[in-house]
Amino acid sequence: MSPRNPGQRAGLTRVRVVGAARDLLAESGALEALTMRALAARLEVSPNALYSHVSSKDGLVDEILDDVLAEVAAPADSGAPAAGLHALMVSTYEVLLAHPELVPLYLARQGARGPNAQRLGDVMLELLARAGVEGERAREALRVLIVYTIGFAAFATRAPVAEPGTTGTQLEENFHSGLRWLLMGIELGARGAGAPAPA
């Protein structure tokens, strides 16, 4: 029945397990498809063998989510900070769109919290500081930009049948203009006295 007897090894490693999990998600496109048992079947091991390399399913998913953020391109240090922030969020948005099957997981976990997520946050804070936004207002702007980007990626990766008139490029224009609106407001807030007046 089984290709191995108890005691024989299957050559599993942590990276092989995580990689197979990513493949499983990418091929099926549905997060329900990522089950420990399906992952074990793909690797031709018994389900409990995975727990020798991964602490739990949640730990596995956390690692996948943070890994993907390594693909986000940090902007050059030279340009204008607002342009850098715009480029950074666009790159994040594009990375999320390139992994549409992961977006619901980012939503459910509300972002990643690993080393790559930390690094991106630091870059954003540097850019904000150069734009004159620091302290509490910088942390505000950081959250607003992250929430906006993940939220928009969620909309963009939703089954397009929901709103038939909306194409992908329209949504991308949409993302850009909303982002410009936000950055304009953030910069105006930095130049003026605190936040803009209520409407």
Partner DNA sequence: ACCTGAACACCGTTCAAGT
- Contact residues for DNA (CB under 7 A)? 1-12, 34-38, 45-49, 51-53, 56-58
Is residue 198 at the binding interface for a copy of itself, with CB under 8 A as the rule?
yes
Among 39, 45, 152, 190, binds a copy of itself (CB under 8 A): 152
Distance of CA 165 to the CA centre of its chain: 26
Query: Residue 185's binding partner, choosing from a copy of itself, DNA, none, with beta-carbon cut-off 5 to 8 A by kind?
Result: a copy of itself
Cβ atoms 129, 83 nearer than 8 A = no
Long-range Cβ contacts of 95-98 (<8 Å, 24+ apart): 95/68, 95/69, 95/71, 96/149, 96/150, 96/153, 96/157, 97/153, 97/156, 97/157, 98/71
- 130 touches a copy of itself by CB under 8 A: no
Q: Mark the segment that binds a copy of itself (CB under 8 A) among 6-14, 19-27, 70-78, 102-110.
A: 102-110
**CA 157 remoteness from chain centre:** 13
Sign of the CA dihedral 157, 159, 162, 165? positive
136 near a copy of itself, rule: CB under 8 A: yes
Nearest-angstrom CA–CA distance, 79 and 174:
24
Please choose which of DNA, a copy of itself, none residue 168 contacts, taking the beta carbon within 5 to 8 angstroms, the exact cut-off set by kind. none
Nearest to 53 by CA among 2, 9, 106, 99: 9
Instruction: Please check whether residue 103 is in contact with residue 109, taking contact to mean a CB–CB distance below 8 angstroms.
Output: no
Choose from a copy of itself, DNA, none: what does 129 bind? Cβ within 5-8 Å by kind: none
The interface partner of residue 176, options being DNA, a copy of itself, none and the CB cut-off 5 to 8 Å by kind, is a copy of itself
Residue 91 binds which one of a copy of itself, DNA, none, with CB within 5 to 8 A depending on kind?
none
Q: How far is the CB of 83 from a copy of itself (least distance, A)?
A: 5
Q: Which residues bind a copy of itself (CB under 8 A)?
A: 80, 82-83, 85-86, 104, 107-108, 110, 113, 136, 139-140, 143-144, 147-148, 150-152, 154-155, 158, 162, 166, 170-171, 173-174, 176-178, 180-189, 195-199
